[in-house]
């Protein structure tokens, strides 16, 4: 049995109860086969066994008082996965579905994503099964304070720097930052995605969505094409979805869909961004509110059809893991999709991703195409360390350059290993090599 198969077998036995982590780790190991099996040096130092094991995992109790004075208890997580190339870096997710498997899959993906950005950041992720939906601002604050009182023991500007993810935006980062400062007395860049008045970077809010669109734009340029006149579907209606839509519109394309966990809207004239921002970012409302305000749009409830049934040139899944399965991929391809760019983390199932690649669709995997968010977080860390702040245009230009470089590094890695156009393999290989080199140079740790 080859080295990769041996490690895969151990992975499955040890993590049988962690399906999302198994999915993410198996995909990476499978596509590293060509690299690993051509050189014994990785096996000699047990590199794969080490890279699939987090350096450290924290699981903790988060007690807080709700508005009626009742005690609520949630579970908190932080996975410090890999610090070979820099301090742990990765978001916090607050969603009722959060468990160890989901945080480990996200932390594992983050190692390779962060490596692809070209910046000195290791991989980590955290979060809680707390659901911010339907909670008052005070409840969210009390939860965040309790969460940080525990998490704060394990993080720091030079050790582990969390940020946002699903359910964690500017409001939550503000509360978390306030409590960290209060508990430690340190005014340091321990979180990214901070408010602009206390160390946040311009363009961090927009960065993941913009970066996704820049990455796909570079692919389009490579075939002499652009967004002009393209019809685009977006899923999700949160941070990533909104700013991906904004950038597509700026570049001449038209986004016609958005989703939330209750359904999707189809707006033939193009999503009205001012309206969606007002509903989602200000009122914390639902897409049903959008449909009610835009009579010309169509609303389809969950269970009565999927957003991937809509015929488009480009699809940008920006909601959550495994939201696009093989049947959806077949429908998209049948209807003529040419590019699929993942804004979310692992939104396509393995079967869907394989199908896109088989059908020669330009499939840009999340760990490359959504790396603009964390890359701009690293730019925020740099600005904090230098005690300076760059203009929006400066940060946006750097983000654009990073995404262009990411596209070419995954494209080149795929070509180098005889898999031209397979950006999944390209991203895994290019991301892995830098981390593996650093781990080997640092000895068996």
| Residue 201 contact among ligand 2IT, ligand NDP, none, beta carbon within 5 to 8 Å by kind | none
Does 26 interact with ligand NDP (rule: CB under 6 A)?
no
Rounded Cα gap, residues 237 and 245, in angstroms = 9
Does 431 interact with ligand NDP (rule: CB under 6 A)?
no
373 neighbors 166 (Cβ within 8 angstroms) = no
Residue ranges in 160-179 that form contacts with ligand 2IT under rule CB under 6 A: 163, 165
Please identify, among the stretches 88-96, 222-230, 247-255, 273-281, the one whose residues bind ligand 2IT according to the rule CB under 6 A.
88-96
Q: Which is nearer to ligand 2IT, 111 or 265 (CB)?
A: 111
167 neighbors 132 (Cβ within 8 angstroms) = yes
Binding ligand 2IT (rule: CB under 6 A), the pick from 54, 90, 126, 341 is 90
Q: Which is nearer to ligand 2IT, 189 or 253 (CB)?
A: 189
Does 345 interact with ligand NDP (rule: CB under 6 A)?
yes
Per-residue mark of binding to ligand NDP, 275-314 (x: CB under 6 A)? ----------------------------------------
Report the nearest approach of ligand NDP to the CB of residue 346 (Å). 8
Does 260 interact with ligand NDP (rule: CB under 6 A)?
yes
Select from 197, 141, 113 the least CA-distant residue to 431: 113
| Residue 324 contact among ligand NDP, ligand 2IT, none, beta carbon within 5 to 8 Å by kind | none
Select from 105, 112, 158, 151 the least CA-distant residue to 128: 151
Residue 88, phi then psi, degrees to nearest 5: -55, 140
Q: Residue 242 has which token pair?
A: 């909104």
Residue ranges in 301-340 that form contacts with ligand 2IT under rule CB under 6 A: none
Binding ligand NDP (rule: CB under 6 A), the pick from 31, 74, 146, 237 is 237
Please identify, among the stretches 25-33, 87-95, 138-146, 210-218, the one whose residues bind ligand 2IT according to the rule CB under 6 A.
87-95
Report the nearest approach of ligand NDP to the CB of residue 301 (Å). 12
Does 27 interact with ligand 2IT (rule: CB under 6 A)?
no
Task: Convert 271-292 into a string of H (helix), E (strand) and C (coil).
Answer: CCHHHHHHHHHHCCCCHHHHHH
Residue ranges in 112-141 that form contacts with ligand 2IT under rule CB under 6 A: 113
Does 164 interact with ligand NDP (rule: CB under 6 A)?
yes
Residue ranges in 344-383 that form contacts with ligand 2IT under rule CB under 6 A: 345, 373-374, 377
| Residue 314 contact among ligand NDP, ligand 2IT, none, beta carbon within 5 to 8 Å by kind | none
Q: Residue 1 has which token pair?
A: 């049995």
Residue number of the CB closest to ligand 2IT reads 91
CB within 8 Å of 285: residues ≥ 6 apart? 279
Cβ burial, residue 83 (10 Å; 0-12/13-18/19+): buried
Does 343 interact with ligand NDP (rule: CB under 6 A)?
yes
Select from 285, 298, 266, 321 the least CA-distant residue to 98: 321
Residues of 145-182 as b/e, b for ≥16 C-beta within 10 angstroms?
A: bbbbbebbebbbbeebbbbbbbbbbbbbbbbbbebbbe
Report the nearest approach of ligand NDP to the CB of residue 145 (Å). 20
The residues assigned a catalytic role are 125
- The SS3 of residue 92 is strand
Residue ranges in 185-224 that form contacts with ligand 2IT under rule CB under 6 A: 192
Rounded Cα gap, residues 16 and 8, in angstroms = 11
Q: Residue 171 has which token pair?
A: 């409001």
Report the nearest approach of ligand NDP to the CB of residue 104 (Å). 14
Rounded Cα gap, residues 241 and 320, in angstroms = 11
Does 349 interact with ligand NDP (rule: CB under 6 A)?
no
Find the DSSP H helices in 336-391: 350-358, 366-369, 372-386
Q: How many residues bind ligand 2IT (CB under 6 A)?
A: 11
Binding site for ligand NDP (CB under 6 A): 95, 97, 164-167, 169, 208, 236-241, 260-261, 318-320, 343-345, 370, 373
């Amino acid at each position: 049995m080859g080295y990769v198969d041996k490690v895969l077998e151990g992975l499955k036995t040890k993590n049988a109860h962690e399906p999302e982590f198994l999915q993410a780790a198996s995909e990476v190991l499978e596509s590293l086969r060509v690299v690993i099996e051509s050189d014994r040096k990785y096996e000699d130092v047990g590199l794969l066994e080490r890279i699939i094991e987090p350096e450290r995992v924290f699981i903790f109790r988060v007690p807080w008082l709700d508005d009626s004075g009742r005690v609520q208890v949630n579970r908190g997580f932080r996975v410090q996965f890999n610090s070979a190339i820099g301090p742990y870096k990765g978001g916090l997710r607050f969603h009722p579905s959060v468990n160890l498997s989901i945080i480990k899959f996200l932390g594992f993906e983050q190692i390779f994503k962060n490596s692809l950005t070209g910046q000195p950041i290791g991989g980590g992720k955290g979060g809680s099964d707390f659901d911010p939906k339907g909670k008052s601002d005070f409840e969210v604050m009390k939860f965040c304070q309790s969460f940080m009182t525990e998490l704060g023991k394990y993080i720091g500007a030079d050790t582990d720097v969390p940020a946002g993810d699903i359910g964690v935006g500017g409001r939550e980062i503000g509360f978390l930052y306030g409590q960290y400062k209060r508990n430690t007395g340190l005014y340091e860049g321990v979180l990214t995605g901070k408010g602009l008045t206390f160390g946040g970077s311009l363009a961090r809010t927009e960065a993941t969505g913009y970066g996704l669109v820049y990455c796909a734009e570079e692919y389009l340029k490579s075939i002499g094409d652009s967004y002009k006149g393209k019809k685009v579907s977006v899923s999700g209606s949160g941070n990533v979805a909104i700013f991906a839509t904004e950038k597509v519109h700026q570049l001449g394309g038209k986004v016609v869909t958005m989703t939330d966990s209750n359904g999707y809207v189809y707006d033939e004239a193009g999503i009205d961004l001012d309206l969606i921002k007002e509903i989602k970012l200000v009122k914390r409302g639902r897409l049903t509110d959008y449909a009610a305000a835009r009579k010309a749009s169509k609303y389809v409830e969950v269970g009565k059809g999927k957003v991937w049934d809509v015929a488009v040139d480009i699809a940008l899944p920006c909601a959550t893991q495994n939201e696009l399965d093989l049947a959806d991929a077949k429908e998209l391809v049948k209807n003529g999709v040419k590019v699929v760019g993942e804004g979310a983390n692992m939104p396509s199932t393995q079967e869907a991703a394989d199908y896109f690649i088989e059908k020669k669709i330009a499939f840009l995997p999340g760990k490359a195409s959504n790396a603009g968010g964390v890359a701009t977080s690293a730019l925020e860390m740099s600005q904090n360390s230098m005690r300076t702040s760059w203009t929006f245009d400066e940060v946006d230009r750097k983000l654009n350059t990073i995404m262009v470089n990411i596209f070419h590094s995954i494209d080149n890695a795929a070509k180098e290993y005889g898999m031209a156009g397979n950006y999944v393999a390209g991203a895994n290989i290019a991301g892995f090599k830098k981390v593996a080199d650093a781990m080997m140079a640092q000895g068996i740790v």
